[in-house]
Structure 1
Amino acid sequence: MNLQYEDAGGDGIPVLALHGTFGRGRTFAAVAERLSPDYRLIAPDLRGHGRSPHGLGDYGRNAFIKDVAELIEALHVAPLPVIGHSLGGVTAFQLAARRPELVAAVVVEDVGAVTDESELPEPVLDVTGWPTRFSGRREAEEFFGQTPAPSYFLESVVAEDAGWELLFDLDEMMAVQWGNVGVWWDDWTAVRQPMLLLRATDSFLLSERLASEMVRRRPGTELVTFDGTGHWIHRKDPDRYAATIRAFFEQLTTSRPPGG
C-alpha cells in the first residue's frame, strides 16, 4: 500500500517515525528539524490517517506492520532506526520482532507491551459522537481545546471544498484502537535490536510499574523518564526528546543486543 509520508530530506541517516492514533506524520516536524542534518526523518501517515488510504477494513496489528515494512522496502532504507509513539510504538517494536532485517534500533514513546483492560481501565477512547465537520477553524479549535493535546488533533483538521473536515473516519479510529488492544509480551521480548523506552511521568498509557516490568523482561532496554510532559512527549519537550534520541543513536555503533 502506498502510504503518504513526510520526508525531511538531505543526506542524513534515515530514521522512520510512526505516529499514534488520530495523528499524522507531521506530528514529528519539530523533532525532524532538531535531528537534521545528521538524521533524515521519514514520517508516514499510517493507514486510516492523514492522506494515506482509508476504508481498508483491516486495522489490526498485522496490517500496520505490513504497511510499514513495505514502505521501508520501497524506499530502500533498511535497516534503519524506527521511532514510534503510542500506536506507532507498538508497531515499531512488533516490526523489529517480526521483520528484524528492516530495523536497526527501536525507540518506543510512552506505550506499554500490554494495552488491554488488565493494564488500562479504558483502553479505547470513544470518539463515536465527535463532529467530523466544522464551520471554521475556530470551531475546531474550541472542540479539540477540550482534549489533552489540541494541536495534535488539529493537525488532522483541514480545509476541504465542503469546509473544515477531519482527515480520519470515526469508525475507523475505533477499529484502529481496538486493533491495538492486547498483550504483546512475545513481540516485546523478541526484539534483539537496541531499544530505548521513553515514559512520561504524567502518562495515562504507561505506568511506572509496567515500564519497569518491560525493562525487567527485556534486559538491555534503556528507560528514560520525562517529567511533566504527558503522553505526547515529542510535542511537549521536543528539545530533550531529540537530544535523548540523538544520544541513543550515537551509541548504536557500540551497542550490543541482549544475548548478542
Structure 2
Amino acid sequence: MERCAFSRDGLRFSYLDSGGRGRPLVALHAHVMEATTFAPLAKLLAPEWRVIALDQRGHGHSDHAPSYTRTDYLLDLEALFDHLHLNDAVLLGNSLGGINAYQFAARHPEMIRGLIIEDIGVVISDEPSFVLAWEGVFPTREALAECIGPRFAPYLEDSFRKTPAGWKLAFEPKEIVASGKATNGDHWHDWLSTDCPALLLRGRDSRVTTQTECEQMTSRRPNTRLAELDGSHVLHFENPTAFGDVVKKFLRAL
C-alpha cells in the first residue's frame, strides 16, 4: 500500500492506499491502532477492491490534534472523501472507526454503498483511562511492551516508535482518553437513519459488545446482517481468515 497524505484545518493526515481500479473501501481503525492493521485485508480484497486506510487524528502518522470530538472525526472523513473524489464507497470501521463509519453514513448517505461495522454498538460508555499508564518514553522496546502488558501489546506493535530518547507510542494516551470519552452516548438515531446494506460483526468473546445489543441493531435496521466470529474485539487481527471470508461474501453481494 502506498502512503499518501492530505491536509485539513492545519493538520496533516496520513493514509494507506492500495490503488488500482477496484471499487473503494475506506477502512477505519480502532483507538490506539493505525491504518497498517488493514494491510492484510487490502491484499486479500485486491484487485476487486481498492482499500484506503486512514490514520485517524492523533494516530499513526497523522498529526496530533487539539480536540477529538465527534465532529472532528467526521469532518476529517469528509476531507478524505473530497481529497479522493469518493462518492460511492464502502465504509469499514472497527470500534472507534465503526462509530465514525455509521455516523458519517448518517450524514452522507448518498456517498456510502455499504457499511461493515466491526464489534461496536450504538450505546457507548467508554472509560479508557487505563491507557494513561502507557504514557512516556521507555528505554527499550521490551520495556514499553512490558508496561502495556501481554493482553494489549500484540495489537499495538504497529504503533511502537523509536525516538532518540527511547521507545514510545505513536499516540498520546491522554488524547485517547479524551477521544474515548467523546464517543460516549446513545447513537441509535445515527445507526437507524440509513438503510444501505450493512454487515455487523461481533466477536464471541467480546468485552465491548453484547449479543443482545447486536441482535437489536440487526433487527431494527433494514438490510443489516449480523455475523458472530471466534475472537474478541479486533476480529480482522485475531481471526483474519474468517473475517476475510465473511467480508468478501458481503462485498460480492453489493
TM-score, normalising length: structure 1: 0.89
Shift >4 Å, 4+ stretches:
none
Deviation, 1:246, is: 1.2
Whether 1:241 and 2:243 are equivalent positions in the alignment is yes
- Does structure 2 conserve the Cα–Cα contact (< 8 Å) formed by 1:69 and 1:102? no
2:194 is equivalent to residue 202 of structure 1: no
CA deviations over 1:179-231 (Å, ceiling 9, x no partner): 1111100000001211110000101111001001111221321100002x111
Q: What is the match of residue 16 of structure 1?
A: 26
Q: 1:233 offset after TM fit, Å?
A: 0.2
Q: How do residues 138-153 of structure 1 correspond to structure 2 at under 5 angstroms? A: 138-147=142-151, 149-153=152-156
The unaligned stretches of length 5 or more in structure 2 are 1-7
Q: What does 1:213-232 correspond to in 2, within 5 Å?
A: 213-227=216-230, 229-232=231-234
Aligned positions of 1:28-177 closer than 5 A: 28-54=38-64, 56-116=65-125, 123-126=126-129, 127-147=131-151, 149-177=152-180
Cα distance in structure 2, aligned partners of 1:161 and 1:8: 32
Aligned amino acid, residue 237 of structure 1: N
Q: 1:107–1:138: structure 2 CA closer, same or farther, 3 Å change rule?
A: same
* Alpha-carbon distance in structure 2 between the residues aligned to 1:83 and 1:136: 34
Unaligned 5+ runs, structure 1: 117-122, 253-260
- Aligned partner of 1:258 in structure 2 is none
Q: Which amino acid in structure 2 is aligned with residue 19 of structure 1? A: H
- Provide the C-alpha distance between the structure 1 equivalents of 2:136 and 2:222, rounded to a whole number of angstroms: 44
Q: Which has more strand, going by share of residues?
A: 2
Secondary structure of the residue that 1:128 maps to in structure 2? helix
Deviation at 1:71, TM superposition (A): 0.2
**Do 2:57 and 2:73's aligned partners in 1 also have CA atoms closer than 8 Å?**
yes
Question: Is the Cα contact below 8 Å between 2:195 and 2:222 reproduced in 1?
Answer: no
Contact 2:195 2:223 in 1 (8 A): no
Percent identity of equivalent pairs: 35
Aligned length: 243
Residue 49 of structure 1 and its aligned partner are, at CA, apart by 0.9
| Secondary structure at 2:250 match in 1 | helix
8 A Cα contact 1:114 1:185, kept in partner: yes
Instruction: Answer yes or no: is the 8 Å Cα contact 2:119–2:209 preserved in 1.
Output: yes
- Secondary structure at the counterpart of residue 174 of structure 1: helix
Contact 2:135/2:172, CA 8 A, preserved across alignment: no
Deviation at 1:93, TM superposition (A): 0.5
Q: Aligned equivalents of 2:52 and 2:77: distance in 1? A: 11
Write the letter of the residue equivalent to 1:146. Answer: P
| Higher helix residue share | 2
CA distance in 1, matches of 2:127, 2:157: 20
TM normalised by structure 2 equals: 0.91
2:185 aligned counterpart, secondary structure: coil
Q: Distance in 2 between matches of 1:65 and 1:163?
A: 34
How many Å separate the matches in 2 of 1:31 and 1:47?
22
Give the drift of 1:161: 2.5
The alpha-carbon deviation at position 21 of structure 1 amounts to 0.6
**Distance (whole Å) between structure 2 residues aligned to residue 40 and residue 219 of structure 1:** 26
| Counterpart Cα distance in 1 of 2:32 and 2:26 | 18
Give 3-state SS (helix, strand or coil) of 1:62's partner.
helix
Letter in 1 for 2:194: V
